[in-house]
Amino acid sequence: MEPILFGLGTVPALISTIIYGIAPMVCLTILAMTQIPRERIELGKAVGAANSEILRKIELPSALPTLLVGVNQCIRTAIAQWRFG
């Protein structure tokens, strides 16, 4: 028998689903932010953009496709947890 960590019910199931589904999002967010070309960040610094502007106007749009894959995988693993868990 498996030990019951959170108990039984809707709230423990939701908590375990969030814990189970957040790992792909974290991994793909790290991947997306490390794949941004350094030239774009250097260009933002060269024109005098603040760090928040570099994040909002350069890094996030550059990383958006990979971030959306992370959201997709997070949703898929959460649904798989609910269906088969």
Per-residue CA distances from 39 to 13, 24, 35, 59, 73 (Å): 44, 27, 11, 11, 29
> What is the pLDDT at residue 62?
95
Question: Rounded to an integer, what distance in angstroms lies between the CA atom of residue 82 and that of residue 45?
Answer: 45
Q: Is the separation of the CB atoms in 77 and 20 below 8 Å? A: yes
Q: pTM of the predicted model, to two decimals? A: 0.75
CB atoms within 10 A of CB 54: 19
Does the pLDDT value for residue 2 go beyond 70?
Answer: no
> What is the pLDDT at residue 19?
84
Backbone angles phi, psi at 36, to 5 degrees: -70, 130
pLDDT per residue over 5-58, tens digit each? 667 777 887 888 888 888 888 999 999 999 999 999 999 999 999 999 999 999
pLDDT per residue over 72-84, tens digit each? 988 888 888 766 6
